[in-house]
Each structure stands twice: as C-alpha cells, then as structure tokens.
Amino acid sequence: MIYGYARCSTNEKLQDIQRQVRELKQQGASDTTIYLEYESGAKEDRAELNKLLQTVNPHDTIIATEVSRITRSTKQLCEIIELAKARQLKLVLGNFVVDCSKELDPMTEGMLKMMGVFSEIERNITSQRVKSGMQNAKAKGKTIGRPSVTVDDIPSVFYKHYPKYQKGEITKKDLSRLCSLSYPTVYKYLRMIEG
C-alpha cells in the first residue's frame, strides 16, 4: 500500500497543500491514503502523522514531497527511520528513496539523517530571522502581534445571542456555534464583558 503525507505549517486559508497532494497522487497515493496536516514540522506529536505511522504495515510505502514535510526534527526523523527499518517500509522523500525492506546501507541512512539536519537548521534560521525582524520592528516603535480588541470590536452577532447565554438557555459551545466564532474567541469576549 502507498501512503502519502502532506503538511503545511499554517491553515488551508494561508497555505495551499494541494501541490503536495497532486505530487503524492502522481507517485501512487490516493485520496484515501493521503494524510493531511496543518502543524509545524518541529512539533513531534502530530495527530495525522501519528495515525499514518500506526496504520502502515510491513512493506508499505510512505511518500512525502520532501524530508521537511515529514519532520523538521532530526530526533524525530531518526525515530521514523527506526520504525521504517522495523516494519520494512519504503520511504520516498522527494527524489530520495530509502528502501528499508532490506538492510539499509550506512551511506543512505547517513544521507537521510543529514537531510534531516539541514531541514532543522533551515527551520532554526527562519525562526531566528523572524525574531530579529520583530525586535527590529519593536525598536522602531511598531506594535507587534495582533491588534488589541476592545468591547466595541465585539461583533453584533455575539451581543444578539449573549442574553441567552446569560439566562443559561445556551452553553458556551452553543454560543460559539451560533456566532460562528472559535471557542477561544468566545471565552475572550466573555472575559471582556463579564470582567
């Protein structure tokens, strides 16, 4: 069986994952065997990756468009390599094919681990640049982060349903659904209104 794994760091509104999906399908994965994830590659506990790693059977293939899609952590990549060796999987990471169904030669394993190291370095450099840019913006007096929200910024739909919540007719979850707002946003608005 051929499984695909596609990942972007942010949500589908900000990043398009479909290029990865197309490439995975060209290599034999299908809609039912492709796992999609919107998480940082540095995060080790990712739901869809975990599902994929629990689903694969001996001699299956895992495809990703590049090493950094699977992980940006060298430690996690080493763990995935060990799992691939134990289950005799085939890993296809971009143009790099690692067949663990037979004994993995040291040069191939070393190359794969080096790719993981470079992926992690790239993430760290990007993170460092972002922090530097934020410090520079602060030094110039610019406000960093999301603009602060006041009671006046709370949408009218929230005020429309808020009295029902006050009377105990609906729960916070109902309020969130009725207003089409995320749960954390509803909590924030409630804290602002109720002090």
Name the residues annotated as catalytic.
9
Number of H helices, E strands in the chain: 8, 5
The 8 Å CB, 24+ separation contacts for 18-22 are 19/65, 20/64, 20/65, 20/69
Which helix (H) or strand (E) is 2 found in, with range? strand 2-8
Dihedral sign computed on CA atoms, order 23, 27, 32, 33: negative
